[in-house]
């Protein structure tokens, strides 16, 4: 049986220190990226496919647009992808 890993805290996603945080208390590293909010600006994070290989993270409030590979689907994937910032 697969064990879920509790969300491990803010994930830095940009060079200027922007982070996304879980939307609500009961999120896991396996939760979809869409279950997060843009810390400080409080906008909801959504994803949009923009090419065969990439999607972008968007924020409902500030217009954040951060490309990530299309394989990045969960909060844990996102943390791993931006490992250099953590």
Residue numbers at the binding site for Zn ion (CB under 5 A):
38, 41, 43, 59, 61-62, 64
Cβ proximity to Zn ion, 23 vs 61, nearer residue = 61
Least distance (Å) from Zn ion to the CB of residue 77? 20
48: helix, strand or coil? strand
Instruction: Report the alpha-carbon distance of residue 26 to residue 9 in Å, rounded.
Output: 12
Instruction: Report the alpha-carbon distance of residue 55 to residue 29 in Å, rounded.
Output: 19
Cβ proximity to Zn ion, 58 vs 79, nearer residue = 58
Least distance (Å) from Zn ion to the CB of residue 67? 16
Least distance (Å) from Zn ion to the CB of residue 52? 26
């Amino acid at each position: 049986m697969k064990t879920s890993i509790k969300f491990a805290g803010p994930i830095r996603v940009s060079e200027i220190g922007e982070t996304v945080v879980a939307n609500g208390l009961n999120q896991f590293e396996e939760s979809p990226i869409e279950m997060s909010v843009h810390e400080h600006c409080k906008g909801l994070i959504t994803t949009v496919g923009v090419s065969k290989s990439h999607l972008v993270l968007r924020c409902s409030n500030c217009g954040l647009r951060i490309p990530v590979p299309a394989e990045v689907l969960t909060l844990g994937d996102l943390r791993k992808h931006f490992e250099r910032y953590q």
